[in-house]
Chain A
């Protein structure tokens, strides 16, 4: 089995996709680091202070003013209200939610890329794992070896999981190194708050507790990894079902982008919460953001994603082991 996986890893590495992904991450991180730097500078310029308490207070006031404006949508109002309560909680408990530093940048980067950017990168790896063998005809060579079909597929699947882990590892390392040059490498032990739960427009703080930033980051990367595995599994299934890699990519791309759009407009369509693509923002539950649909929780989203992932996995194996290859 190990040999089979090794074989698959050779294929993945030879395609040089991992390198390309690392390069894309590096470019994006550099871009975001610069944008973040500009933002910090403009806030300092506007307020004339580097004191985070004054800055956070000003953000709170700005949000309150926006809430009092007429003509803002119900969803946006709810989002602002929750964020406002949370910022006030941070301020009241003397904790800086965005102390400058590479770990803080990593945290924001993961939170913002978990529902689109990371899945896209995962898709680049897993979209052609099986379909390219089918369209290139190499599948016949693979299947003529005296190895059971399910073992071949399993080795591909495990190789995909390894590649996903590697992508997240490079995401972490690259974003730490690049943003660290600008913001400094420290800040692993800063305290952060978690355990907020959102009920309608209320922010429940009864379970709020402090955890150090390194643990917070580890948790968020763990969730990003979980999401990546599920997205990878779905792509993997499509890759088994279809010969054309382009079609696989097209379908996954459409699903992921529709998820990003739906999340901002499904609050009144309740059964949409069973779609996998509106459940991708798992890190929001850790940081305490309002979910797209009332009543969604971390447990719920993880269950939905697990069910989708398992279903995709079962379909992949059933189809692959029974299909006629000619």
Chain B
């Protein structure tokens, strides 16, 4: 009995040694002597676009504001929008948050070229986005080296990118309502608040002008939300909103979505 089990184990071991040797040989052949054969095919949007879609799809795009930086619960305004909407509809809501901290408009333009991002936008019912904050403030640099010329340069570039962004989204998806959340002035309790506020107002106005060229793009203002008591609504970095600040934005956006959803149902 004992001897038999030894024989069995030995036989299995010899067999296994052979198998692992073959594996090692495969590795050497594959990793060292691989000759570039047919390249692996990249997918295109057509390959993956036609897939089942269920529930109410929200896609969030943009920068740290959409990501929720500064909200210790990590929700951000997107999370509060979701909370609000859940009380209003029985549909299952899916949120895909594709926002990246520190992203500028140019970054979003290239992100929109990715096939998977395009697929998700194509399926979206609602698109939430913030962009431009990093183009304008550049991490506070704009304020410390204040120069109108530089700001105007940055703005011209940003507005061109914004055109591309809206055009790309509209080409992919004609029906989804886009909520473009515009900028507030995080510095309006500082010394040169008048100057900075004027710049942000103008920035928002020009962005709204771009948005007006495309159907169903709603510019959601936040400037007023942070005008009084700005300190109470900002995170300790004095730039991003805190939990309360995000709640304000979230509630405002959520109230608009109900309206949009109702309108859509009315159309059908």
Cα A285 to Cα B30 with chains together (Å): 12
Select the residue from A166, A208, A286, A298 with max chain B CB neighbours within 10 A.
A166
Asked if A61 meets B16 with Cβ closer than 8 Å, knowing A94-B47, A223-B24, the reply is no
Please give, as numbers and ranges, the residues of chain A lying within 8 Å of B103 by CB-CB distance: 68
Known A57-B98, A93-B43, A207-B34; judge A48-B19 contact (CB<8 A). no
When C-beta atoms are compared, the residue in chain B nearest to A194 turns out to be B30
Interface SS of chain A? helix
For B, the interface residue count at a CB cutoff of 8 angstroms equals 54
Q: Is B97 an interface residue (CB 8 A)?
A: yes
List B residues 1-32 near A (Cβ within 8 Å): 2-3, 5-7, 9-10, 12-14, 16-17, 19-27, 30-32
One of B112-120, B151-159, B204-212, B216-224 contacting the partner: B112-120
Are A48 and B92 interface neighbours, CB within 8 A? yes
Report Cα–Cα, A162/B95, bound state, in Å: 53
The chain A residue with its CB closest to the CB of B101 is A68
Q: For chain A, residues 77 to 100, give those with C-beta under 8 angstroms from any C-beta of chain B.
A: 88, 91-95
The answer to whether B96 and A286 touch across the interface, beta carbons within 8 angstroms, is no
Q: How far is the CB of A302 from chain B (nearest CB, A)?
A: 8
On whether the beta carbons of A209 and B116 are closer than 8 Å, the reply is no
Q: Does A165 contact B (CB under 8 A)?
A: yes
Cα A222 to Cα B27 in complex, Å, equals 8
Q: A61 with B21: in contact, given A6-B6, A218-B26, A298-B31 (CB under 8 Å)?
A: no
- For residue A247, CB closer than 8 A to chain B, the reply is no
Find residues 249-301 in chain A having any chain B CB closer than 8 Å to their own CB: 285-286, 298-299
Assembled-state Cα–Cα distance A199/B94 (Å): 38
Q: Are B6 and A211 in contact (CB under 8 A)?
A: no
Q: Could you tell me the distance between the alpha carbons of A92 and B39 in the complex, rounded to whole angstroms?
A: 13
Q: Give the distance to chain A from B81, nearest Cβ to Cβ, in Å.
A: 15
By size class, the interface of chain A is 35 or more
By beta carbon, the residue of chain B nearest A195 is: B34
Q: Are A219 and B27 in contact (CB under 8 A)?
A: yes
B40 touches A193 (CB 8 A): yes
The reply to whether B40 and A9 form a contact with Cβ atoms under 8 Å apart is no
Q: Is B190 an interface residue (CB 8 A)?
A: no
Chain B residues, CB < 8 A from A161? 17
A218:B23 contact, CB within 8 angstroms: yes
A47 within 8 A of B: yes
Q: Contact at A49–B94, with CB atoms within 8 Å?
A: yes
B134 to chain A, nearest CB (A): 10
Distance to closest chain B CB from A93 (angstroms): 5
Does A221 make an interface contact (CB < 8 A)?
A: yes
Write the B25-59 contact mask toward A (1 if CB under 8 angstroms, else 0). Answer: 11100111010110011110001100100010000
Q: What are 7 A-to-B residue pairs whose CB atoms are below 8 Å?
A: A9-B6, A61-B98, A94-B43, A165-B13, A166-B16, A194-B31, A211-B30
